[in-house]
Homo-oligomer: A and B are copies of this chain.
Amino acid sequence: MLRAEKVERKAVTVQDVARVAGVSTATVSRALSDPKKVSEKTRKAVTEAISATGYRLNKAARNLRKRQANAVLILVPNLGNPFFSQILHGISAGFSDTEFSILVSDTSDQAGNALNLVDYFLDSRIDGLISLDGSLPNAELDLFHQHGVADKIVFACEWSPEANFPSVRSNNAMGARLAVRHLFDLGHRKIAHVTGPEGNVLTRARREGMLEERQRLDLPMNPDWIVRGDFSLESGFDAAQKIARMKDRPTAVFCASDMVAFGLISGLKQQGLSVPEDISVVGFDDIEMAEYSDPPLTTINQDREGLGRASADRLLAQLRPDVGEDRQIIKLDVYLAERQSTRAI
């Protein structure tokens, strides 16, 4: 029984409520936004008038008057990527019982046309911004400062190395070090690395963590063992060809992402090598599939939802003076999830 009469009542306003309650619009407004400013009695009268009239506050009007949008924008490099969408899930949860709605924009869509993020602020469509994209153009970031909204921005997962915005991230270097350490403990000495895309901050952090641990353990180094990837399945697959054909072939590979690891394993198999018998593989991210792949993937676990929540909290702290912590950089712990894609040599 889904049909129903369309009731076209012409918007109930504060005026109507005020009239019914026998008070002024000012009082109605106050009763709503700050109940303790009106007396017990009037508050009750207003409440009753509201339910009698079926009043709903018009957000557009409020936004105009209060000069705020009650919305935040989340900037995602690619919504199709499950990794990002899980962070988004956390962000969504983090804002779920606040007054803020979340607007989502995919930076890959506006590829060509500059995105002019600051306009979102200037048009008073948003009050804050969380970017999962660490590679926003500097010109854009400058604009934020110029228009005085720089303090309404938080980075999550990725970050902008040159600028100094609050940032919530995983401890990437630590993750890389755990991975190398794990392989070392299994007896591996010749360890390769498939990186993320050049220029990406995560790529750099993980690569450096790996190099650092390697140095610490005094492992042999062969520049060929660092293979360029881009976090994708394809790039892992391609890397497998190169690695399989190396004269001085590594016995283990640390991949910058789980997707790369899966691609790599698939590629190695095609080259007649099997994991972990011939080569051990460690991933990064611990996506859900890692547990069910063949072989189950040893990898570094990141708390994606935690990243989302923490960044939501962090932005909230900027948006409302009183709440939340305000560290500039929040690093979330990672851990090694040991499965069957690695084995002792």
| Residue positions of A touching B, CB distance < 8 A | 1-8, 56-61, 63-64, 67, 69, 71, 74, 78-82, 84-86, 88-89, 92-93, 96, 101-106, 109-110, 119, 122-125, 138, 141-142, 145-148, 162-164, 233, 236-237, 262-263, 265-266, 269, 288-289, 291-294, 296, 304-305
Pairwise interchain contact B292-A289, C-beta atoms closer than 8 A: no
Contacts of A92 in B (CB 8 A): 79, 104-106, 109
Give 16 A-B pairs besides A80-B82, A80-B89, A80-B305 with Cβ atoms closer than 8 angstroms. A6-B146, A59-B125, A60-B64, A61-B64, A79-B88, A79-B89, A81-B85, A89-B106, A92-B106, A92-B109, A96-B110, A102-B104, A102-B105, A233-B289, A233-B292, A236-B292
Main secondary structure of the interface of A (DSSP, over half): mixed
Pairwise interchain contact A79-B69, C-beta atoms closer than 8 A: no
Pairwise interchain contact B148-A7, C-beta atoms closer than 8 A: yes
Quick one: given A2-B163, A138-B2, A292-B263, are A106 and B93 in contact (CB under 8 Å)? yes
The 7 A-B pairs of least Cβ separation, nearest first, read A82-B82, A85-B85, A79-B89, A80-B89, A6-B148, A60-B63, A4-B145
Contacts of A119 in B (CB 8 A): 56
Residue of B nearest to A55 (CB): B122
Contacts of A125 in B (CB 8 A): 59-60, 101
Distance of A286 from chain B, by nearest CB (Å): 13
Distance of A72 from chain B, by nearest CB (Å): 11
Residue of B80, B110, B142, B292 near A86 (CB, 8 A) is B80
Pairwise interchain contact B78-A69, C-beta atoms closer than 8 A: no
Taken together as a complex, chains A and B put the C-alpha atoms of A300 and B291 apart, in Å, by 23
Taken together as a complex, chains A and B put the C-alpha atoms of A291 and B236 apart, in Å, by 13
Pairwise interchain contact B63-A292, C-beta atoms closer than 8 A: no
Quick one: given A78-B89, A79-B85, A145-B2, are A233 and B122 in contact (CB under 8 Å)? no
Taken together as a complex, chains A and B put the C-alpha atoms of A25 and B286 apart, in Å, by 57
Pairwise interchain contact B7-A146, C-beta atoms closer than 8 A: yes
Quick one: given A2-B141, A262-B289, are A57 and B123 in contact (CB under 8 Å)? yes
Contacts of A292 in B (CB 8 A): 233, 236-237, 262-263, 266
Residue of B nearest to A292 (CB): B266
Contacts of A78 in B (CB 8 A): 89
Residue of B69, B103, B109, B142 near A96 (CB, 8 A) is B109
